[in-house]
């Protein structure tokens, strides 16, 4: 497997474009807010969506369009979530119909995504007006623009592509994602689009997505708020010419490995670029009797406001780590817990057998002052482990979210 440029357009047959449609009134014309992704060949497709009981209209519409297991394109806007408004559903359908018309496909073949403020009416006309120009500008170089267009409070685009072999053919898989705030995915995550030229059945595509997403996007948290718009969409157009993957064979395993790499990359960068974040927190709980318990412990640690604030202050307050484990409802024996902090500046043990150990405070501070820090917990009970990603809690998070809507 190797990384390559081109993101969602790296795989054969995919093109993309982005523009400033003016979805949010008064938004800067320099900030693109509308992206279009198109495959020249029909794609088998699978998606995972928010488990929030309140779902945005584009989530419902995309779920309906996915029932056939086939897609051709995606239209996605930032600046408005298109949720909880009287016309939300109609607007989502209208946007799909307009995109289908300019692309010469059926509305059922179009997925739609939105991200932004909830409860304010979407300027669907601005999107519809921008679509013909966008369709004309579809290009193999369009992934970068699309990755930028779906950003809201993100500060960096999240984009990746990898290639790997299936049955002697080179297959490419790429993706873009946005994260930042309201990130605590319970299935899929806030807008992620994955494209591949792999020949793979809809069933195997769905299985691969359901296998990989729980271990990647669902292990990220920024603020514990599961959004109404979470969507992770995977489209495969088969243009790589590999033997069709329709069983859980070597080809499937290679595909899952590549999908894991792509989703892990995007998930990790989503955590690192969490709203206001100054540090990426990677928490690995090992030595557990089950992966599920390790995941619950790890997620409880990276979700804790107190742990997040301590990492912001580079304060080796490991008691908060143990406390967050304790209220996770996952089984473990407090008297067996070992906690270490690590980063590019080194590694330090701060707790052993559930108790304080004497450690060098200056060294701990240096380790926690790095942009990427690791919290390593060993519960010394078994062989299962899980890694979750989060970020620190900063003044900037409060600043961004104290006045996001107005």
Q: Does 332 bind a copy of itself (CB under 8 A)?
A: yes
Per-residue burial over 2-21, b if 16 or more Cβ lie within 10 Å, else e, is eeeebbbbbbbbbbbbbbbb
User: Is residue 3 part of the contact set for a copy of itself (CB under 8 A)?
Assistant: no
Q: Is position 397 an interface residue for a copy of itself (rule: CB under 8 A)? A: yes
CB of 10 to a copy of itself, least distance (A): 34
Residue closer to a copy of itself, measured from CB, 244 or 306: 306
178 binds a copy of itself (CB under 8 A): no
Report if residue 190 touches a copy of itself, rule: CB under 8 A. no
In whole angstroms, how close is the CB of 406 to a copy of itself at the nearest point? 6
Q: Round to whole Å and give the CA distance between 340 and 271.
A: 21
Q: Which is nearer to a copy of itself, 32 or 80 (CB)?
A: 80
Contact residue for a copy of itself among 70, 323, 376, 384 (CB under 8 A) = 323
- Name the one residue in this structure whose structure tokens are 């496909």: 105
Among the residue ranges 97-105, 199-207, 262-270, 388-396, the one whose residues contact a copy of itself (CB under 8 A):
388-396
- Supply the minimum distance, in Å, between the C-beta of residue 181 and a copy of itself: 7
Rule CB under 8 A: say whether 119 interacts with a copy of itself: yes
Among 189, 228, 237, 343, binds a copy of itself (CB under 8 A): 228
Tell me which residue of 259, 128, 133, 244 sits closest to 192, measured CA to CA.
259
Q: What share of the chain is helix, strand, coil (3-state, %, to 5)?
A: 35, 30, 35
CA–CA distances in Å: residue 398 to residues 124, 311, 383: 31, 16, 39
Q: By CB under 8 A, how many residues form the interface with a copy of itself? A: 66
Dihedral, CA of residue 20, residue 23, residue 25 and residue 28, to nearest 10: -20
Which residues are within 8 A (CB) of 195 and not within 5 positions of it... i.e. 6 or more apart? 8, 9, 10, 11, 14, 37, 39, 43, 173, 174, 175, 234, 235, 236, 237
DSSP 337-355: -EEEEEETTEEEEEEETTE
Token pair in block for residue 304: 């804790």
**Residue 403 in contact with a copy of itself, rule: CB under 8 A:** yes
Gap between the Cα atoms of 362 and 57, Å rounded: 51
Draw the binding track, 204-223, toward a copy of itself (x: CB under 8 A; -: no contact): -------------------x
Shortest separation between residue 197's beta carbon and a copy of itself, angstroms = 35
Q: Is 260 a catalytic residue?
A: no
Closest by Cα among 89, 79, 62 to 126: 79
According to the binding rule CB under 8 A, does residue 117 interact with a copy of itself? Answer: yes
Single residue of 42, 108, 249, 315 touching a copy of itself by CB under 8 A: 315
Tell me the window of 27-35, 78-86, 141-149, 282-290 that interacts with a copy of itself (CB under 8 A): 78-86
Among 82, 195, 227, 286, binds a copy of itself (CB under 8 A): 227
Closer residue to a copy of itself, CB minimum distance, 281 or 351: 351
Cα(282)–Cα(389) distance, rounded to whole angstroms? Answer: 5
Least spacing, CB of residue 376 vs a copy of itself, in Å = 17
**Of the candidates 211, 147, 148, the residue with the CA atom closest to the CA atom of residue 175:** 147
Q: Does 78 bind a copy of itself (CB under 8 A)?
A: no
User: Catalytic residue among 62, 189, 216, 226, which?
Assistant: 189
Strand order of the β-sheet with 372-378 is 355-356, 346-352, 338-343, 372-378, 280-288, 384-391
* 286 is an interface residue for a copy of itself by CB under 8 A: no
Packed helices 124-136 and 88-103: angle between N→C axes, nearest 10 degrees: 20
Q: Whole-angstrom distance between the N-terminal and C-terminal Cα of the chain?
A: 45
Residues forming the active site:
189
Catalog residues that contact a copy of itself under the rule CB under 8 A. 51-55, 81, 83-86, 117-121, 181-182, 184, 186, 223-228, 303-306, 309-310, 312-313, 315-320, 322-328, 332, 334, 351, 354-356, 361, 393-395, 397-406
């Amino acid at each position: 497997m190797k990384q390559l440029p081109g993101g969602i357009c790296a795989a054969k047959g995919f093109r993309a474009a982005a523009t400033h449609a003016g979805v949010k009134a008064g938004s800067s014309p320099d900030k693109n807010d509308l992206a279009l992704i198109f495959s020249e060949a029909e794609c088998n497709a699978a998606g995972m969506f928010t488990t929030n009981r309140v779902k945005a209209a584009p989530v419902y519409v995309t779920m309906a369009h996915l029932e056939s297991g086939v897609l051709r394109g995606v239209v996605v806007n930032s600046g408005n979530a298109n949720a909880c408004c009287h016309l939300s559903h109609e607007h989502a359908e209208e946007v799909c119909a307009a995109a289908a018309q300019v692309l010469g496909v059926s509305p059922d073949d179009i997925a739609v995504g939105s991200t932004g403020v909830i409860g304010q009416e979407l300027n669907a006309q601005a999107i519809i007006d921008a679509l013909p120009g966008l369709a004309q500008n579809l290009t193999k170089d369009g992934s970068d623009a699309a990755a930028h267009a779906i950003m809201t409070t993100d500060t960096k685009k999240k984009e990746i592509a990898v290639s790997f072999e299936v049955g002697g053919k080179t297959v490419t898989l790429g993706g873009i994602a946005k994260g930042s705030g309201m990130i605590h995915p319970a299935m899929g995550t806030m807008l992620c689009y994955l494209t591949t030229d792999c020949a793979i059945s809809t069933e195997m595509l769905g299985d691969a997505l359901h296998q990989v997403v729980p271990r990647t996007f669902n292990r990220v948290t920024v603020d514990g708020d599961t959004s109404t718009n979470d969507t992770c969409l995977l489209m495969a157009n088969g243009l790589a010419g590999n033997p069709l993957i329709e069983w859980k064979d070597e080809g499937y395993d290679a595909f899952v490995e590549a999908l894991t790499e792509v989703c892990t990359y995007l998930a990790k960068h989503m955590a690192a670029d969490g709203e206001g974040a100054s540090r990426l927190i990677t928490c690995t709980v090992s030595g557990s009797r089950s992966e599920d318990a390790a995941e619950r412990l790890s997620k409880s640690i990276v979700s804790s406001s107190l742990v997040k604030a301590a990492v912001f202050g580079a304060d080796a307050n490991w008691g908060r780590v143990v406390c967050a484990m304790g209220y996770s409802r996952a089984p473990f024996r407090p008297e067996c817990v070992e906690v270490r902090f690590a980063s590019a500046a080194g590694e330090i043990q701060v707790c052993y057998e559930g108790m304080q150990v004497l450690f060098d405070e200056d060294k701990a501070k240096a380790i926690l002052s790095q942009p990427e820090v690791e919290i390593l917990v060993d519960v010394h009970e078994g062989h299962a482990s899980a890694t979750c990603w989060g970020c620190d809690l900063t003044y900037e998070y409060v600043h961004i979210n104290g006045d996001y809507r107005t």
